[in-house]
């Protein structure tokens, strides 16, 4: 099944765009983009992408029409600081994808190819992964947005990415790494959706494309995680997060730390300059999205997941 998100969006924006207060607007967007129908659609797309990887096309964007008056309910300097933080966080995508490919390769070659493509034994990249092809559009899009709004150029300041650090337990390595990847895709989806609720017109159209990409990846990674680790309970996830947080309150590029990432994100996104309403509505977005995601996840059956992920031979023939 393929959902026509474009027509749904247009109808929804016209009805709620400028009249609804922010919270109901956020709820409309969350109920739509995090609906089970949309998430199922994104997950079921995977076998096709394993065999015929094709980046999701973006709608045409009217870049020249983007202007500061399309920002609603958030101060321009705060909005720009968030954009700048997102630009720095999205790069360097190549490092992200290659680390993930290495964790996945021994355990699921299809997903490894989806995220990081194919590499020769000396590490030379022979083919780009679909995840990389879609993500690498994000930094240039955000830079373009920034320059449309400010008439200045934002130079990305990529941070150091944690390198592949295998232990003797590759299954646990992938679990920790995968949880981190799901968390960052989910965080990006929430952030762009929250920004989308604060914008109108062509500015909103760009953010919608980012939301669609991040939700697409988040759903595929989450579904893979549920298939690969079916006995992972909320308790185990929480325990892994707590372990990852232990004693590491600052970002360390060589170690996996969810809390470190969160700490770095709040700094680069200029969290301290956000108003109380900004913080509250963003927290609402994250909690409500997680609720919808969890509900959808409970509906995933082992048979469905087996159909999607249980045939690694699918991606090996081309
Ligand atoms: Fe992204
Ligand atoms: Fe992403």
In angstroms, what is the span from residue 15 Cα to ligand 1's centroid?
28
Q: What is the pLDDT of residue 19?
A: 60
- Integer-rounded Cα radius of gyration of the chain: 19
Q: What is the pLDDT of residue 139?
A: 95
In angstroms, what is the span from residue 191 Cα to ligand 2's centroid?
11
In angstroms, what is the span from residue 253 Cα to ligand 1's centroid?
19
The pLDDT tens digits along the chain (318 residues) read 444 444 445 445 544 455 678 888 999 999 999 999 999 999 999 999 999 999 999 999 999 999 999 999 899 999 999 999 999 989 888 889 999 999 999 999 999 999 999 999 888 999 999 999 999 999 999 999 999 999 999 998 887 888 899 999 999 899 989 998 999 999 999 999 999 999 999 999 999 999 999 999 999 999 999 999 887 776 777 667 666 655 444 445 444 556 667 777 778 888 888 999 999 999 999 999 999 999 999 999 999 999 999 865 555 443
Q: Using an 8 Å Cβ cutoff, are 99 and 162 in contact? A: yes
Q: How far is CA 296 from CA 31, 104, 210, 306, in A?
A: 12, 24, 21, 17
Q: What is the pLDDT of residue 62?
A: 96
**Ligand nearest, relative to CA of residue 136:** 1
In angstroms, what is the span from residue 289 Cα to ligand 2's centroid?
16
In angstroms, what is the span from residue 19 Cα to ligand 2's centroid?
31
Q: What is the pLDDT of residue 257?
A: 59
In angstroms, what is the span from residue 135 Cα to ligand 1's centroid?
5
Q: How far is CA 21 from CA 69, 72, 90, 205, in A?
A: 17, 11, 30, 20
- In the chain the first and final C-alpha atoms are separated, in Å, by 25
In angstroms, what is the span from residue 110 Cα to ligand 1's centroid?
21
In angstroms, what is the span from residue 150 Cα to ligand 1's centroid?
22
**Ligand nearest, relative to CA of residue 215:** 2
In angstroms, what is the span from residue 185 Cα to ligand 2's centroid?
5
In angstroms, what is the span from residue 181 Cα to ligand 1's centroid?
11
CB-CB neighbours of 94 under 10 Å = 17
Which residue in this structure is represented by tokens 């017109």?
201
Q: The pTM is what?
A: 0.88
**Ligand nearest, relative to CA of residue 135:** 1
Please, which residues have CB within 8 angstroms of residue 156's CB and are 6 or more apart in sequence? 87, 88, 90, 91, 139, 143
**Ligand nearest, relative to CA of residue 210:** 1
**Ligand nearest, relative to CA of residue 192:** 1
In angstroms, what is the span from residue 293 Cα to ligand 1's centroid?
19
**Ligand nearest, relative to CA of residue 216:** 2
In angstroms, what is the span from residue 90 Cα to ligand 1's centroid?
5
In angstroms, what is the span from residue 227 Cα to ligand 2's centroid?
21
Q: What is the pLDDT of residue 128?
A: 95
Q: What is the pLDDT of residue 18?
A: 53
């Amino acid at each position: 099944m393929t959902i026509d998100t474009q027509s749904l969006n247009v109808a929804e924006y016209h009805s709620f765009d400028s009249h609804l207060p922010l919270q109901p607007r956020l709820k409309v967007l969350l109920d739509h983009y995090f609906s089970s129908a949309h998430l199922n659609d994104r997950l079921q797309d995977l076998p096709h992408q394993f065999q015929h990887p094709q980046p999701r096309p973006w709608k045409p964007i009217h870049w020249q029409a983007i202007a500061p008056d399309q920002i609603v309910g958030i101060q321009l300097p705060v909005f720009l600081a968030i954009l700048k933080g997102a630009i720095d966080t999205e790069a360097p995508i190549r490092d992200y994808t290659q680390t993930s490919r290495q964790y996945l390769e021994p355990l699921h070659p299809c997903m490894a190819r989806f995220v990081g493509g194919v590499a020769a034994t000396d590490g030379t990249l022979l083919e780009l992964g679909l995840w990389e092809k879609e993500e690498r559009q994000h930094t240039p899009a955000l830079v373009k947005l920034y320059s449309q709004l400010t008439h200045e150029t934002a130079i990305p300041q990529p941070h150091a990415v944690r390198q592949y650090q295998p232990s003797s337990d590759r299954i646990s390595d992938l679990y920790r790494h995968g949880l981190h990847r799901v968390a960052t895709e989910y965080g990006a989806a929430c952030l762009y959706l929250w920004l989308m609720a604060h914008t109108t017109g062509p500015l909103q159209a760009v953010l919608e494309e980012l939301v669609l990409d991040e939700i697409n990846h988040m759903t595929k990674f989450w579904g893979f995680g549920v298939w690969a680790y079916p006995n992972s309970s909320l308790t185990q996830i929480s325990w892994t997060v707590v372990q990852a947080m232990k004693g590491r309150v600052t970002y360390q590029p060589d170690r996996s730390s969810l809390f470190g990432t969160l700490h770095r994100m709040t700094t680069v996104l200029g969290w301290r300059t956000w108003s109380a309403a900004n913080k509250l509505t963003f927290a609402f977005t994250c909690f409500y999205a997680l609720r919808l995601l969890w509900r959808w996840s409970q509906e995933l059956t082992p048979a469905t997941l087996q159909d999607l992920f249980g045939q690694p031979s699918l991606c090996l023939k081309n």
